[in-house]
Amino acid sequence: MSEHYDVAIIGAGMSGLSAGIRAAHFGKKAIILEQHNAPGGLNSFYAKEGRKYDVGLHAMTNFVPAKERRAIFNKLLRQLRIDRSELDLIEQKSSRIAFPGANLRFGNDEALLESEVERVFPGQVDGFIRLSVAVRNYPDAAISQPYQSTRKWIKQFISDPLLEEMLFCPLMYYGSAVEDDMDVGQFVVMFRSIFHEGLARPAEGIRLLIRVVLDRYRKLGGIRKMKTGVKQLIAEGGKISRIVLENGSELTADVVLSCAGLPETYALVDKALVPDQSKLAGQLSFSETIAVYETLPETWGWGDDTIVFFNNAETFSYRNPADPIDLRSGVICLPNNFEYGDRPLGEGLVRVTCLANHDTWCGYSDEQYVAAKGDWFGRIQQSILPMMPVATRQYAEDLVATDMFTPRTVKKFTRRARGAIYGSPGKVKDGRTEWGNLFLCGTDQGYLGIVGSMLSGVVMANEHVLKG
């Protein structure tokens, strides 16, 4: 006899946990099935040589003050019954888009970016203001429309190619599954969440957020099975009738929400049904280096930059690179350089994210892989030196620990096809599949990032578990 649930959720990432909370809160019998032994999915944490590391978190987007009750972030927390104070959020200082010959700063007050555009691109500021208004007024219904190119749409507002690239850079790095372009709906969502709203992080990092979400789910009676991969979804009569687990057992559910991704979910039903794997699987993966220093960035002369989105090439390229890693652009995040005030921080941290080629990293033998990691770690650190303050050039002496992940790491721990953090370029915005009770949730439903994936969990549970 297999157990029966109102809803079975594949994946204990941020979308799955959020969907679980909504379902369990309304008395639904919910189970979350996770192949890995740690919760959080792409946004997880681990310990190495006695030191704690976050995997995903640079910053949470959509940060607004608590009084803005109608803002997405506050609505999301209310839907999940999470008190903001539990997250102990610390705001960014300010961030920067750094291109050859031009820098634009932005922060949690949207006026900063507007004044920076006026300073650096005086002829473009009217267009920028019109763009910002158009983004604010963009109808919610249009966000869920099929893909539309932002490259074409943005031309009615911005005519300077450099400003266009500079605006794209952070929005693509923090949320585009499409090479060198973005869906207009996704651009609008990312513009609002980063430029209109802002960035913050839980004081203690991602583990605090995950602990809060897990506690909520557990207290509501939700069931979670870790190291329990879903092997197959059996379809009968247009519905998923049975869920076969990798441990050999089976269960049934009225509704199945899959956070595993679009091609990954279709492959669980029938590999032959994946419409066109090469088109559906994401093209974009990343590597990240993590360097831990004895000293804090301010002692090296590092100022207020919390995150730097940089491009050193003549044109900004956001695509799967030919080299194992594209050193020409990336994101430098200093997780301890938020507004921590007087709180003791201990060590300095620098994370550098760059585009990386999945096929190369996954094609290496184990020995080649270790050697390539060592080699590229050094090259990445070298490549960011020109962006560091002069005093920072000596910072290597303070280095106490390092780590690095690659597309191979992402694939191994999350099973994302091609290690694609932002999933498939083809999003299914209503979450529906060709099986009546199977819905996509999270990244491939089209909501990206931590807040986005949590929102997707809430929306999909509301639509398909609570209403259905």
* Contact positions with ligand FAD (CB under 6 A) in 277-336: 288
Q: Which of 5, 28, 56, 216 binds ligand FAD (CB under 6 A)?
A: 56
Q: Is 419 a residue that touches ligand FAD (CB under 6 A)? A: no
Least Å distance, CB 139 to ligand FAD, is 24
Q: Which amino acid is at 122?
A: P
Question: Which residues, in sequence order, are CB contacts of 125 under 8 Å at separation 6+?
Answer: 114, 117, 118
Q: Which of 20, 41, 330, 425 binds ligand FAD (CB under 6 A)?
A: 41
Question: CA-CA distances (angstroms) from residue 181 to 62, 188, 317?
Answer: 22, 13, 10
Q: Is 32 a residue that touches ligand FAD (CB under 6 A)? A: no
Segment interacting with ligand FAD, rule: CB under 6 A, options 30-38, 317-325, 389-397, 427-435: 30-38
Closer residue to ligand FAD, CB minimum distance, 185 or 449:
449
Strands (DSSP E) found in 259-398? 285-293, 305-311, 329-333, 348-356
* Contact positions with ligand FAD (CB under 6 A) in 198-237: 229-230
Closer residue to ligand FAD, CB minimum distance, 95 or 124:
95
User: Cα separation of 113 and 128, whole Å?
Assistant: 10
Q: Is 176 a residue that touches ligand FAD (CB under 6 A)? A: no
Closer residue to ligand FAD, CB minimum distance, 32 or 327:
32
Do 257 and 399 touch, CB atoms closer than 8 A?
Answer: no
Closer residue to ligand FAD, CB minimum distance, 166 or 260:
260
187-218 in b/e form (b: 16+ CB < 10 A) is: bbbbbbbbbbbbbbbbeebbbbbbebbbebbe
Closer residue to ligand FAD, CB minimum distance, 12 or 113:
12
Q: Is 23 a residue that touches ligand FAD (CB under 6 A)? A: no
* Contact positions with ligand FAD (CB under 6 A) in 396-415: 410, 414-415
Q: Which of 24, 30, 61, 195 binds ligand FAD (CB under 6 A)?
A: 61
Question: Which residues, in sequence order, are CB contacts of 65 under 8 Å at separation 6+?
Answer: none
DSSP letter (8 states) at residue 448: -
Q: Is 80 a residue that touches ligand FAD (CB under 6 A)? A: no
Q: Is 36 a residue that touches ligand FAD (CB under 6 A)? A: yes
User: Cα separation of 37 and 391, whole Å?
Assistant: 41
Closer residue to ligand FAD, CB minimum distance, 218 or 415:
415
Task: Reduce the secondary structure of 139-201 to three states and give it as a string.
Answer: CHHHHCCCCCEHHHHHHHCCCCHHHHHHHHHHHHHCCCCCCCCCEHHHHHHHHHHHHHHCCEE
Least Å distance, CB 331 to ligand FAD, is 9
For 311, the token pair is 């491009």
Least Å distance, CB 287 to ligand FAD, is 9
Contacts with ligand FAD by CB under 6 A lie at 10-16, 33-36, 41-43, 55-61, 229-230, 259-260, 264, 288, 410, 414-416, 421, 442-443, 448-451, 453
